[in-house]
Amino acid sequence: MPNNTDEQSYVAKVRFIKKCLIGHLVSVFGATACAVYLRIPLTDPQLIQILAAILIALTIVRFSLRTGKIEQIFSTGLLIASLPIIGQLARDVQELGYPVIAFPITAVLIGIYTLGVGRDFSFPGMVGVCSVALAPILWILRAQGVEMLEMVAIGWFIGTLYVTYLSYNMAMILKRRRPDEFLSVVADFLRDLLNFTTYPVRVLFHWRGYNFQ
């Protein structure tokens, strides 16, 4: 991508990264609010089908429009449409006893780190700080009876995996997005989940295509 953000000055890159991560935090707050205040009269399998359709639509928008204001409008609209679905699915999984609460907690930690480090932003630093800070928070929730003991480690792993994915993806996004594509990047965090989940399948087909054994 010509004139991508990775080609800009260090200060411009850090400013862009912070803007995108705070935008992502807002989207997480939106999904969390939907989980608390909204009830959709659909089963979880139906919600998963709708979310899968949104992910596919996001991918189609990306490959067909590539960039520009129209792409940003469609991507942002699909992201907003996904928030109630994600919120209800997250609430349902949390009610089954799994520590989905680790996601919004980690997102808040990411926001605190992003706003607090100034120009000394570092992806490895963000992963390390958020991962270390998450553990005692989950332990406190366990002590308060919010989470079960056996779920503390799982919650910590989920949160660490989440911040690692976000860091890696943001670093890759810098090479393919321009500084004026902030809204598209916030949608990319959701859109790229499909790319990551289908990556092993694409590698397998690649190996078969070249007769790798």
* Residue recorded with tokens 């204001």: 69
Count of the separate structural domains present in the chain:
1
Write down the pLDDT at residue 213. 43
> 42 in a domain, yes or no?
yes
Q: What is the pLDDT of residue 1?
A: 72
- How far apart, in Å, are the Cα atoms of 142 and each of 34, 62, 146, 161? 24, 41, 6, 20
Q: Is 87 a domain residue?
A: yes
Neighbours of 134 (CB within 10 A): 24
Whether residue 208 is contained in a domain is answered as no
Compute the distance between CA of residue 61 and CA of residue 59 in angstroms, rounded to an integer.
5
pTM for this predicted structure: 0.87
Single-letter residue type at 20: C
Report the C-alpha gap between 58 and 75 in whole angstroms: 6
- Per-residue pLDDT, 81: 97
| Structure-token pair, residue 206 | 């690649």
162 vs 77: CA distance, rounded Å: 23
Question: Does residue 186 lie within any of the structural domains?
Answer: yes
Instruction: Provide block-wise average pLDDT over 10 residues at a time, the chain (213 residues).
Output: 87 95 97 95 96 94 90 96 97 90 95 91 95 92 69 91 94 92 94 68 47 44
Copy the structure tokens of residue 31: 């999904």
Full residue range of the structural domain in which residue 27 is found: 5-197
pLDDT at 151: 80
**DSSP label of 88:** H
Query: Would 114 be classed as within a structural domain?
Result: yes
Q: What is the SS3 assignment for 40?
A: coil
Q: Tell me what pLDDT residue 5 has.
A: 93
